């Protein structure tokens, strides 16, 4: 199974450098010279890319890939998702820490067991992580904090919600 570790935001400069939004808690492991990721392009095709250089640039990383020699090639990667194999992920030692792919697809239920919906994705924002839950065909965003999500049971395939009034409306 693949997990998104980054997204190409745009080309940077004229030498094929790319600005990448990081979507992993361990960028030093995922974004290292010689590491290979699969790039899922906007047209749905994929191709392997090998990191050549990586440097920090504000909230993003600026990277070059062996397979991207110039700005024209870099422009073709705009919007591409960078994927890594979940089998390569190190185990999390913290029981309150989860990989996005572990949460996606879990049932969301209230503390009394009432079904709410299904976790579709984890949204990473400046304010923190949000669970994007499909509730009867519409998306509801739930802050992923202990006060609102008191229990995550990956093995049981569910998250328990204790939302404040109005959050799920």
Q: What is the CATH number of the domain that holds 7?
A: 2.40.30.60
Q: What is the bridge-based pairing of β-strands 158-161 and 107-110?
A: parallel
**For residue 93, what pLDDT band results from cuts at 50, 70 and 90?**
low
CB 53 within 8 A of CB 65: no
Q: Which domain holds residue 113?
A: 100-161
pLDDT at 94 over 80: no
CATH code for position 145? 2.30.30.240
Q: Give the per-residue pLDDT at 102.
A: 86
Q: What is the pLDDT of residue 2?
A: 77
76 found inside a domain:
yes
Distance CA 5, CA 25 (A): 9
Q: Are 124 and 54 found together in one domain?
A: no
Percent of the chain whose pLDDT exceeds 70: 94
Q: Other CB atoms closer than 10 Å to residue 54's CB: what's the count?
A: 17
How many CB atoms neighbour CB 67 within 10 A? 14
pLDDT tens track for 10-61: 999 999 999 999 988 778 878 999 999 999 998 989 999 999 999 999 889 9
Q: How confident is the model at residue 91 (pLDDT cuts 50, 70, 90)?
A: low
Residues 6+ apart with CB under 8 A from 99: 3, 86, 89, 92
Residue 139: pLDDT over 80 = yes
């Amino acid at each position: 199974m693949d997990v998104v570790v980054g997204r190409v935001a745009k080309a940077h400069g004229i030498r094929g450098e790319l600005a990448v939004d990081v979507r992993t808690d361990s960028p030093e492991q995922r974004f290292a010279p010689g590491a290979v990721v699969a790039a899922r392009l906007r047209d749905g095709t994929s191709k392997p890319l090998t990191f050549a250089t990586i440097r920090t640039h504000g909230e993003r990383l600026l990277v070059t890939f062996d397979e991207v020699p110039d700005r024209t090639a870099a422009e073709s990667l705009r919007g591409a998702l960078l994927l890594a194999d979940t089998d390569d992920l190190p185990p999390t030692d913290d029981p309150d820490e989860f990989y996005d792919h572990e949460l996606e697809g879990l049932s969301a239920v209230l503390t009394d067991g009432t079904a709410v919906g299904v976790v579709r994705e984890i949204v990473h924002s400046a304010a923190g992580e949000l669970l994007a839950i499909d509730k009867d065909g519409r998306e509801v965003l739930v802050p992923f904090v202990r006060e609102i999500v008191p229990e995550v049971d990956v093995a049981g395939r569910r998250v328990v919600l204790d939302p404040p009034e109005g959050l799920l409306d």
